Chain A
């Protein structure tokens, strides 16, 4: 399945506005031709964002590998959605010592030790 969804704790208008506002997300989802839909979540939950990447990679060996290991595109889209939710709800992208750039597919594969960054690592992690 090449679909995913996340719920953001803000009203639909605000979520749609921020989705279109530079700085709240990268262009990754747009560049991959995904379909994006907003939907009111129940009660006080906010707004659901549904992303459909289409049926790519469903057949053959590639499809099997995707089923086993997960689709890299979908993983990246999930990261982008989490970062959007974090930015909207908290105002920051949470950074740990192991994942100083914030949630990213690349860091999932190669974590750094959970100890403070050296001065030379700070700019690479996007910290001024």
Chain B
């Protein structure tokens, strides 16, 4: 089959690789119809997530048709159309039984490696380095789906792929980020990052009843989407004024947002060129793995007693983490890779009901063989790229 593989820093290529096979009694094989490039794939592409290996198939946002099931998978039939959640979860361990699927205790066969870095292992993830298991990803024609009796959700109506594909990751991730904010109605929420996850965090905060939702980014087209499609009430372009904390305080009458969502993660930019360059240098020389501009500002801007919700991906260690502000302002921090399985059904219902059309983030649709170009376009924010969907059955 054809698959998009990581070939070293800033390089991917589409190659012929063996077709996936059933390896366990709870596996299924899915023929992929749509697969997306996630912002967090860029962390792998850029070489900032350790334990990547040349030849790794990328991709953790995908959907398709079931073409084979192992004997333990009785909930799916060949021909079913499914969306596959990005974390791989057994459904049996204590964490899964408590709906914390992204910290499944059993699905990561490289648990010992993850334990060294994080203290404890986390769940396996498709196409996301060997710390998260070394599973082949979904930027391919086919994928093996372990624990297929637990993860995939069947799409039983004729909704197009673009409307349901993002149930695999970015819609639930954004939703979980908003849910972390304990929105009861009337709150001010700031969302750092107006990439695809940020767009869904904004849309979800609006759906949950926030009164003011402020999007922060440095690209006009993403801020336009945040305001016009996701529902942000205010936007901050930090390329024009780098003092995000003061701008947020002004927008909230000096109080600061009730909750802040970090939808940026480890490759944050800073509006001040020298500060940004210094942090990039530290990251490039591996004296830190995570650039922390967004999270630092989020913590400094959040109102005392507020909530910091972290859904942007971090990989290791960050310099100058503002522990003083965090502790003295009495902030609550919540974060994590999304427990996608928990949100699949309720968010699928929201899509079916027309509460939201997640396809609004899609700006580029290409054939799988165009993946290398697509990564470059997405990385460098060319052509007003927000979200790329790759279709293995498409020519270009």
Give the B-binding residues of A (Cβ under 8 A).
7, 9, 44-46, 75, 78-79, 82, 85-86, 89-100, 102-103, 105, 107-108, 111-119, 122, 125, 127
The 5 closest A-B pairs by CB, nearest first: A98-B134, A113-B55, A114-B56, A99-B109, A116-B20
Evaluate contact between B56 and A113: CB separation under 8 angstroms: yes
Judged by a CB distance under 8 angstroms, whether B222 is at the interface is no
Interface of B is mostly: loop
Knowing A90-B26, A108-B112, A114-B134, say if A98 contacts B106 (CB, 8 Å).
Answer: no
Among A9, A94, A116, which residue has its beta carbon within 8 angstroms of that of B107?
A94
Inter-chain contacts of B127 with A (CB < 8 A): 114
Q: Are A96 and B94 in contact (CB under 8 A)?
A: no
Report which of B72, B92, B135 forms a contact with A114, defined as CB distance below 8 A.
B135
Are B112 and A96 interface neighbours, CB within 8 A?
no
B53 A94 Cβ-Cβ under 8 A: no
Q: How far is the CA of A51 from the CA of B130 in the complex (A)?
A: 27
B contact residues around A122 at 8 Å (CB): 21
Which listed residue, B19, B23, B130, B135, touches A127 by the CB 8 Å rule?
Answer: B23
| Residues on B with beta carbons closer than 8 Å to the beta carbon of A119 | 18
Cα-based distance from A96 to B147 in the complex (angstroms): 12
Some 5 contacts from A to B, beta carbons below 8 A apart, are A44-B94, A82-B111, A89-B93, A90-B90, A115-B3
B112: nearest chain-A partner, CB-CB: A108
Contact B135 A89 (CB under 8 A): no
Partner of A92, one of B25, B54, B56, B111: B25
Among candidates B17, B26, B112, residue contacting A115 with C-beta atoms closer than 8 Å: B17
Contact status B109-A103, CB under 8 Å: yes
CB distance from A88 to the nearest CB of B (A): 9
- Chain B residues with Cβ below 8 Å from A96 are 109-110, 124, 133-136, 146
Asked if A79 contacts B93 (CB within 8 A), the reply is: no
Residue of chain A at shortest CB distance from B129 = A114
Q: Tell me the smallest distance from the CB of A8 to a CB of chain B, in Å.
A: 9
Interface on chain A toward B: helix, strand, loop, or mixed SS? loop
Which single residue of chain B is at the shortest CB-CB distance from A43?
Answer: B94
- Chain B interface residue count, CB cutoff 8 Å, equals 45
CB interface residues, B 113-135, toward A, < 8 Å: 113, 115, 124, 127, 130, 133-135
Contacts of B19 in A (CB 8 A): 116
A111, B53: Cβ atoms closer than 8 Å: yes
Contact A91 B109 (CB under 8 A): no
**Does the CB pair A111–B90 fall under 8 Å?**
no
Roughly how many angstroms separate A103 CA and B134 CA in the complex, as a whole number? 11
In the complex, what residues of A have CB within 8 A of residue B113's CB?
108
Residue numbers in A under 8 Å from B5 (CB-CB): 113, 115
- A90 proximity list for chain B (CB < 8 A): 26, 90, 92-93, 106, 147
Tell me the complex Cα distance, A97–B133, Å: 8
Q: In whole angstroms, how far apart are the Cα atoms of A128 and B36 in the complex?
A: 33
Known: A9-B92, A91-B26, A114-B137. A98 touches B21 (CB 8 A): no
Q: Which residues of B lie under 8 Å from residue A114 when comparing CB positions? A: 53, 55-57, 127, 130, 134-137
Whether B56 lies near A94 (C-beta < 8 A) is no
Q: Given that A9-B93, A94-B106 are contacting pairs, would A127 and B21 also be in contact in the complex, using a CB cutoff of 8 Å?
A: yes
Do residues B110 and A99 form an inter-chain contact, with CB atoms below 8 A? yes
Is B270 an interface position by the 8 A CB rule? no
Which B residues lie within 8 Å of A98 (CB)? 53, 56, 109-110, 130, 133-135
Neighbouring B residues of A113 by C-beta, 8 Å: 5, 53-56
Residue of A nearest to B93 (CB): A89
Are A103 and B17 in contact, with the CB atoms below 8 A? no
CB distance from B68 to the nearest CB of A (A): 13
With CB as the reference atom, state the residue of chain B lying closest to A9: B94
In Å, the complex CA distance between A75 and B116 comes to 11
- Asked if A97 and B136 make an inter-chain contact with CB atoms under 8 angstroms apart, the answer reads yes
Complex: chain A residue closest to B134, CB-CB = A98
Cβ of A29 to closest chain B Cβ, rounded Å: 16
A35 to B: closest C-beta gap in Å: 22
CA A96 – CA B106 in complex, angstroms?
A: 12
Contact B17 A116, beta carbon cutoff 8 Å: yes
Kindly state the separation between the CA atoms of A102 and B26 in the bound complex, as whole angstroms: 14
B residues 123-166 touching A (CB-CB < 8 Å): 124, 127, 130, 133-137, 144, 146-147
In angstroms, Cα B130 to Cα A122, docked, is: 20
